[in-house]
Amino acid sequence: LTEQQRGMVLNLVADLYPADVALLLRRLPDAEAGRLFRWLPPEMGADVLAEMEDAVRAALLDDLRPDTLIDLIDALDTDDAADVLADLPDRVALEVLPDLEDAADLTELLEYGEETAGGIMAREYVALAPDQTLQEATEAVRRSAADVDDVYTAYVVDEAGTLLGTLSLKQLLLSAGAVKVRDVMDADFISVAPRVDQEEVGRVVQRYDLVSVPVVNDTGRMMGRITIDDVVDVIRDEAEEDMQLMSGLTGEEETVDSAVQVSRGRLPWLIVGLVGSGLSGTVIGAFEATLQQAVVLATFIPVVTAMGGNAAVQSAAIAVQGLGAGELWLSDAFKRIGKEMLVALLNGIVVAGLLCGTVALLGMGDVTMLVATLSLTMLSVSLVATTNGALIPFLLTWLGVDPASAMGPFVTTLNDIMGLAIYFLIATALYL
């Protein structure tokens, strides 16, 4: 991209949606992305900024002058503006904050945790008074339209700012102009508290099929509103975070991170895995005498650990999902585990049968006792691992930890250790 291409490039970019420009910037080398971003008209620059991932955004904003930054942030809705501010270095954020149009609102938003309802809400919304006629209400919506994007619902508040009801644009359009807002509003609305976790907001919006949800504090005061596009991002982010936790990542790795950043994020779980598998190794080491007498037992180490790991992860996945979707509650733990043990018994019998059939066919070692050892091991491992898998997510939820972390290296390692101990104890008793 050279200065001569500016006109041509801007022409091309003007036809794109902000989300597509954000994707384009993400795929350009840093220097070119910076140049193109500075060429964009402020209004478009702001829209593009709102669509960008944190890491890409931080890189782009790094070398902007404060006054450009202020123009950009002023063009954003307060929820996006608060996000951008939160991602800036503290020094820069403090420098620009006092000069921003919505400085007071933003200071308030920044006080909420980034992953709470307060942290993702916008302060802009269309407010109506209960005694307005619909004619007046329509006028009020018109006046707000310039400041508030994505209007689907207006909020009816009294003088003290207490939320009394909601009125959808459809309802506003459908009723006669002389009717009072109070008489057509929906007083039986769903709201969330500002300190609620964003994951809970996602659940509420999904369960009740909402397109926006008001944030209301303890005293019933309307604080702001959360729109569905932000909720969709939350749902996707939380799903990504769960998947990363399950995979032994810290939950924040992005595809644009540098190799050293990535390495640093992955090492903790690799080291946990190392320590855990070291313990598994110690179990094997403790039975070195057994192994020395029957090296054939080593052949089944992967079988035992695979059965334990797979069975545990399967039952953990269902518990994690049920808890996440609000379909399972802590009080369901015992019922759930009872059912899982039944499944474990069924699957243990089938797998033990298959394994023993194979061993008998291949005629490995002293077949009768080997088959007995393996059957008993498979059944026990299936039961223990499945129960662990189902139990740990409940335990973590009860402790206030994200249950998805149960499925990382932690559960697998725990079950390796327990599975191997079971295996060698049974083998020492039966096979030797």
**187, 211, 330, 432: which one contacts a copy of itself (CB under 8 A)?**
211
- How many residues contact a copy of itself, by CB under 8 A? 109
Taking CB under 8 A as the rule, does residue 138 contact a copy of itself? yes
Residue 172 engages a copy of itself in binding (rule: CB under 8 A): yes
* Residue 187 binds a copy of itself (CB under 8 A): no
| Residue of 10, 93, 97, 151 interacting with a copy of itself (CB under 8 A) | 151
Given the rule CB under 8 A, which of 6-14, 80-88, 108-116, 405-413 is the region that contacts a copy of itself?
Answer: 405-413
Task: Give least dist CB 41 to a copy of itself, A.
Answer: 18
Backbone angles phi, psi at 227, to 5 degrees: -100, 160
Instruction: For residue 337, give the amino acid letter.
Output: I
Q: Which of 45, 165, 309, 393 binds a copy of itself (CB under 8 A)?
A: 309
Q: Kindly state whether residue 414 participates in binding a copy of itself, applying the rule CB under 8 A.
A: no
Cα 298 to Cα 83, 153, 294, 304, 430: the distances in Å are 54, 66, 8, 10, 16
- Chain mean position to CA 124: 25
Helices (H), 287-366: 288-293, 296-299, 301-324, 333-362
Q: Which is nearer to a copy of itself, 119 or 251 (CB)?
A: 251
What residues have CB less than 8 Å from 408, skipping those under 6 apart? 245, 246, 247, 248, 269
How many whole angstroms separate alpha carbon 417 and alpha carbon 104? 55
Question: Cβ closer to a copy of itself: 155 or 269?
Answer: 269
Distance CA 190, CA 196 (A): 14
- Tell me: does residue 164 bind a copy of itself (CB under 8 A): no
Q: Does residue 132 interact with a copy of itself by CB under 8 A?
A: no
Q: What angle do CA 197, 201, 204 make, to 5 degrees?
A: 135
The answer to whether the CB of 121 falls within 8 A of the CB of 225 is yes
Handedness of CA 153, 159, 160, 162 (dihedral sign): negative
Q: Which residue has the tokens 């998805």?
A: 404
Residue numbers 223-252 binding a copy of itself by CB under 8 A: 228-229, 231-233, 235-236, 239-240, 242-244, 246-249
- Determine if 156 is a binding residue for a copy of itself (CB under 8 A): no
Of 71-79, 99-107, 164-172, 177-185: span binding a copy of itself (CB under 8 A): 164-172
Out of 68, 132, 152, 193, the residue judged to bind a copy of itself by CB under 8 A = 152
Of residues 99 through 128, those in contact with a copy of itself by CB under 8 A are none
> What's the rounded Cα separation, in Å, for the pair 82 and 201?
18
Give 160 or 289: the residue with its C-beta nearer to a copy of itself. Answer: 289
Considering the complex, state which of residue 194 and residue 248 has its C-beta at the smaller distance from a copy of itself: 248
The correct pick among 14, 19, 103, 187 for binding a copy of itself (CB under 8 A) is: 19
Q: In sequence order, what are the beta bridge partners of 186?
A: 166
Q: Which of residues 343-372 bind a copy of itself (CB under 8 A)?
A: 343, 346-347, 350-351, 354-355, 358
Per-position DSSP letters for 46-93, written without gaps between them: HHHHHHS-HHHHHHHHTT--HHHHHHHHHTS-HHHHHHHHHHS-HHHH
H/E element holding 37?
helix 30-39
Among 179, 271, 330, 432, binds a copy of itself (CB under 8 A): 271
Cβ proximity to a copy of itself: between 107 and 138 the closer is 138
Answer for the pair 249, 405: CB distance below 8 angstroms, yes or no. no
CB of 83 to a copy of itself, least distance (A): 14
Q: Are 388 and 411 in contact (CB under 8 A)?
A: yes
Q: Among 61-69, 100-108, 117-125, 265-273, which window interacts with a copy of itself (CB under 8 A)?
A: 265-273
CB of 168 to a copy of itself, least distance (A): 9
Sole binder of a copy of itself in the list 13, 25, 26, 431 (CB under 8 A): 26
Complete edge-to-edge strand list for the sheet that includes strand 153-157: 127-128, 153-157, 163-168
Residue of 320, 356, 371, 426 that binds a copy of itself (CB under 8 A)? 320
Q: How far apart are CA 411 and CA 272, in angstroms?
A: 11
